[in-house]
Structure 1
Amino acid sequence: MPSVTVWLFPTAFGAETGEVHLTGLVQRGALVVHDAAAISWVPSDPEPRVRQLKHLTARAAGKGAMLGAAVGLLLLNPVAGAAVGAAAGAGARRLRDAGISDDFVAEVRAAVKPGTSALFVMSSGADATQLAPILDRSEGVLIRAELSDEGKAVLEELGRSLPEDAD
């Protein structure tokens, strides 16, 4: 069953270092990445920037940025406006049923603020013996949510429902 992990970093560019570590873990077979997105918030910018990590998820790239869409809908909703807000409400209800709780969303929302960054990773088959040393050396903090059997499909559907420039 896939899980969603968020690697939170105390700097706007910490997620770039995390991305390098994540790439190494994927190449060593320490986990399978189904989808991944990075968010960075430079202190002088009015809102964070979300981007899909396509090189890690070649198979997912053709399906759209499902995790990037979820990040945009759920975490950036207060910044995005009313039109996106209605879609976010419906998406949030579906994601709760898929295993991403309101507490998880609230914790991540509170942590992602100007001057920080994060990696959002939907993965499975993680080898804790390979992940632990990387995470222990990282300045990042890990938050994890287990998805239900329906979770991956819900994220894919959310990704397809957004306009191309929404992420």
Structure 2
Amino acid sequence: MSDLVAIVYQTEAKAEKVRQRLLRLQKEYLISLGDAVIAVKTDSGNIKLNQLVNTTAIGAATGSFWGLLIGIIFLNPIIGVALGAASGALGGALTDFGIDDAFMKELSTTLEPGNAALFVLIKNMTADKVLKEIKDAGGIVLKTSLDETKEQILRDALAKAAQPLTGEQPQGAASS
């Protein structure tokens, strides 16, 4: 079973730095990620999701290939590529991979403008080594599906390293 962890950072760049660390740790087999998404609250109050996997682009590429193949069979490869890319992009855009987008947007409404939340879906990990690598980035735990003991260990490690974002926790930051 996977665990969800959402941590708030002062900036999108800081959240991206932590995500890149987690991806490096995944290459070292210390963590296995199901998804890692950064949600940013813009100055206008909108929530922007920076997905790890762009399903629209993957769908368009896959659709183009199959469209080309079918187009060659029916002697019209250009139309086949165009139709394949369009249908693949549409299918990719409608696919929700990993963490539910609506859930992330709803939780991110509590962020201050300019802050970013890193949502990570963890399949499994070597907790002590992963925590050692990310604790210096700080952050505030927004939400987790970890048990209370593990969640408190995470909160304590991040709190030691970070200066407060705005002096207070975002609304709902204490929920789990």
Q: Report the Cα offset of residue 30 of structure 1.
A: 1.2
Does residue 128 of structure 1 match 2:159? no
> What is aligned with 1:64?
95
Query: Could you list the runs of 5+ residues in structure 1 that have no partner in the other structure?
Result: 56-61, 78-104, 148-167
TM (norm. structure 1) is: 0.54
Relative contact order, higher structure (CA 8 A, sep 6+):
1
1:139-158 Cα distance to aligned partner (Å, 9 max, x none): 223342159xxxxxxxxxxx
Task: Say how many residue pairs are matched.
Answer: 108
- 1:5·1:120 contact (CA, 8 Å) conserved in 2? yes
Take 2:40 and 2:98, find their aligned partners in 1: how far apart are those partners?
Answer: 15
Per the TM alignment, residue 11 of structure 1 is displaced from its structure 2 partner at its CA by: 2.2
Deviation sequence 1:38-89 (CA, Å, 0-9, x none): 11224x333121121129xxxxxx8933345x2x323435xxxxxxxxxxxx
1:125 to 1:12, Cα distance in 2 relative to 1, 3 A: closer
Instruction: Provide the residue aligned with 1:7 in structure 2.
Output: 7
1:101-156 residue CA offsets vs partner (Å, 9 max, x unmatched)? xxxx5xx653x231210111111221012112123211223342159xxxxxxxxx
Q: Contact 2:41–2:48 at 8 Å: present in 1 too?
A: yes
> In 2, Cα distance between the equivalents of 1:19 and 1:31?
12
TM-score, normalising length from structure 2? 0.51
Larger Rg: 2
Alpha carbons 1:25, 1:131 under 8 Å: kept: yes
Shift in alpha-carbon separation, 1:19–1:66, aligned structure 2, 3 A? same
Structure 1 outlier segments of 4+, above 6 Å? none
User: Is 1:73 equivalent to 2:63 in the alignment?
Assistant: no
Q: Which residue is 2:70 aligned to?
A: none
**What residue number does 1:52 align with?**
51
Q: Aligned-pair distance for 1:8? A: 1.5
1:28, CA displacement in angstroms? 1.1
SS in 2 for 1:114: coil
Query: Structure 2: which 5+ runs fail to align?
Result: 55-91, 148-176
The Cα of 1:22 is off from its aligned counterpart by 1.3
Equivalent residue of 2:125, what SS? Answer: coil
In 1, the alpha carbon distance for the partners of 2:104 and 2:9 equals 16
Amino acid at match of 1:131: V
Q: Which residue of 1 aligns with 2:163?
A: none
Match of 1:21 in 2: 21
Q: CA RMSD in A?
A: 2.8
